[in-house]
Structure 1
């Protein structure tokens, strides 16, 4: 059943929604492939603009209140890394993390934390939703232990139990992630990849494959 843009089943499991989002993500990517997004003649900026604008949102829709397990997160990350590298026609056996940093795309687990913390902040900014949350927590002490609830997931992420502590430490985790990403983007290897992305045509693909090649 689809409700307010979310696909849910009778057990309120996120499997249906995740499967639907992945299908839409692949469909959107295939459509843009027909528009030439994988062509060497398309600049890196245009490729990434189209990806971030038209494709990635289909994968990330609903992350605010969808609970993903580690397997689902890994599946989404693997798929996204594969398709992003596919846009630049990179070989499968190439480094993903460094490339994602170079193109300034957060990893899925980082995006989830950021999205959920911001969602909780938005909820407590409004008196109605804030009062509902406080009432629920006051009358249902096990709410934060329900592994299908937003509060449970944020409490696990932050290792805190009260709303304001969750927000405080959640924001700190987000800031730490931003600092880590900025530091990584200053790494020599990532800088080389960023410079290679400025190259046009076939030489860009050749250079990126050289830089991202995994040695065994």
Structure 2
């Protein structure tokens, strides 16, 4: 290895270690390392075109590399480039950890598209066939070829209950802990696990309701309450925004980040131009439509900032029956904390 600093060069020295796993600089260093590979792939034809001038060839974060093509042959050409680059740079790619997925496989295609995709041989990397899968995990998000969210939600549910079990083992869900502290523990250690990656998915009403039930049951369990108790007033008293609101905030934060990047902003502009129903841009617009008329004069980024600020104020003040919320909060401060579940149950239990 040789290090260059402006016009100065170090002596050549051997290196036996790669970038540190989990290091802050590691993704950036690896991005520099694979930059030439990305340029090679970009110079080739296989890709997903989003306009006459813009296209997507792949998505790269550190060593998580996703190649994208509208034809199987194009994907194989990208794999060959990657394989050759690895050989030249003395790095190898593991075929057993490499998979491929086909999105919109049942969608009808015109004659031109069918002719371009006549080649249907096996995809090969380093002499081994690449396995086709129906779902895969990328940066913690489970993606399915049918564009469904079932796998990701199920795994996030399992992970959230796993996080809850770890918190429970430490004894910090015991009756001696103040309910407000338990609420904070949920927001810090469990909710991020449950909602991880969900801002990227278009969730239907049933899926949102399932998420609401999961976190409602976890919080009620932390406070020693039955599943038959209501969670809306409980969450307001604990200053925890609803899962619906939190998901909207996460989506607004994602949009704000995407708009600051030139390339991801192009994708957002493309989604807006083709007017896809239930696209990410469409979701943000639906959130804004539920707010007051003031938001109609704001662009999406301005709306997202306002929505986040407004949500923060509402969460602090508590939303709902103020008399009942004050009653619940008074119970939270009861001197005998072992009595708190018994005192809360009559107030929060569903009426028969």
TM bucket by the smaller chain?
Answer: 0.7 to 0.9
CA RMSD of aligned residues (A): 2.7
* Structure 2 counterpart of 1:153, from 276, 283, 287: 283
Structure 1 pair 95–125 and aligned structure 2 pair: CA distance change class (3 A): same
1:166 aligns with 2:317: no
* Structure 2 counterpart of 1:34, from 169, 174, 181: 169
Q: Which runs of no fewer than 5 residues in structure 1 stay unpaired? A: none
Q: Is the 8 A contact 2:180 2:238 kept in 1?
A: no
Q: Is the 8 A contact 1:157 1:170 kept in 2?
A: no
Structure 1 pair 183–10 and aligned structure 2 pair: CA distance change class (3 A): closer
The more displaced of 181-190 and 62-71 is 181-190
TM-score calculated relative to the size of structure 2:
0.53
1:1-216 superposed matches below 5 A = 1-134=136-269, 136-137=270-271, 141-142=273-274, 144-147=275-278, 149-159=279-289, 165-174=299-308, 177-178=311-312, 180-181=314-315, 182=317, 184=319, 187-199=322-334, 200-216=336-352
Question: Higher Cα Rg: structure 1 or 2?
Answer: 2
TM-superposed deviation, 1:94: 1.9
Q: Is the 8 A contact 2:200 2:251 kept in 1?
A: yes
Give 3-state SS (helix, strand or coil) of 2:227's partner: coil
TM-superposed deviation, 1:128: 3.6
TM-superposed deviation, 1:185: 6.6
Structure 1 pair 110–35 and aligned structure 2 pair: CA distance change class (3 A): same
Structure with the bigger RCO (C-alpha within 8 Å, sep 6+) is 1
Q: Is the 8 A contact 2:239 2:318 kept in 1?
A: no
Q: Is the 8 A contact 1:102 1:194 kept in 2?
A: yes
TM-superposed deviation, 1:170: 4.3
Cα distance between partner residues in 1 of 2:306 and 2:249: 10
Q: Which runs of no fewer than 5 residues in structure 2 stay unpaired? A: 1-135, 291-295
TM-score calculated relative to the size of structure 1:
0.83
TM-superposed deviation, 1:7: 0.8
TM-superposed deviation, 1:9: 1.4
Q: Is the 8 A contact 2:252 2:284 kept in 1?
A: yes
Cα distance between partner residues in 1 of 2:350 and 2:268: 48
Structure 1 residues 124-178: Cα deviation after superposition (integer angstroms, max 9, x where no partner)? 12334324433x24xx732x4243x311222332349x9x633344445545545
Q: Is the 8 A contact 1:197 1:204 kept in 2?
A: yes
- Return the structure number with greater strand share: 2
- Return the structure number with greater helix share: 1
Cα distance between partner residues in 2 of 1:48 and 1:201: 15
Cα distance between partner residues in 1 of 2:199 and 2:227: 31
Give 3-state SS (helix, strand or coil) of 2:199's partner: coil
Cα distance between partner residues in 2 of 1:165 and 1:54: 33
